[in-house]
Amino acid sequence: MKTIFTKPAEVERRWFLIDAKDKVLGRVAAEVVFILRGKNKAAYTPHQEVGDYVIVVNAGKVKVSGGKEYKKIYYHHTGHIGGIKGEAYHSLLKRRPSRPLEIAIKGMLPHTRLGYKLFNNVKIYGDDRHPHAAQQPKVLEL
C-alpha cells in the first residue's frame, strides 16, 4: 500500500460558519480545531495544512460551565520582573468578546509553525455580523 499525500494546490478548501451563541466554550473550540486541522477529511495528514476555513460568530455570547464565568482567570506576563497580570473571564468578555475563544482555539492547535499558520484560517467575531458573505460559508449546527 502506498501513502497518498495531497499537494497544497490540490486541497479543496471550503468555508464553514459556526454560531457560538449559547454553546459551551470548549466544545465550540474543539469543533473549530477539528475542521481547521482537516480531520473531517479523508486526506488528513498531521504535518500538512489540509483543513478548511472557519467563521465563528456570536463569540461574545459563548457560555462556560461550573461557575467559571467569575472563577476563571486569564494570565499573561508583561516581560518585566513581577509583571504577571490576570483578568477574569467576565471582564475579558466585556473588553474583547472574541478573545476567550481565540485563546481556547490557540491552546488546542499545535504550538508549531503549522499551528500558527492554521490559526490564520479562523475568523472570530463577537457579534452576528461578518464580512465573509462572498465566500458562501456552509452553516454548521453544533
Backbone angles phi, psi at 35, to 5 degrees: -75, -40
Band (pLDDT 50/70/90 cuts) for residue 113 is very high
Band (pLDDT 50/70/90 cuts) for residue 114 is very high
- The bridge status of strand 138-140 relative to strand 122-124 is unpaired
Across 21-131, where does the E strand assignment appear?
53-57, 73-77, 84-88, 122-124
Residue 142's pLDDT is: 84
Residue 32's pLDDT is: 98
- Determine the average pLDDT of the residues in 11-23: 96
- Determine the average pLDDT of the residues in 51-56: 97
Residue 78's pLDDT is: 97
Kindly tell me if the per-residue pLDDT of 4 is higher than 80: no
What rounded mean pLDDT belongs to the chain?
Answer: 95
Give per-residue pLDDT as tens, 24-36.
999 999 999 999 9
Which domains, ranges and CATH numbers included, belong to the chain?
13-64+97-140 (3.90.1180.10)
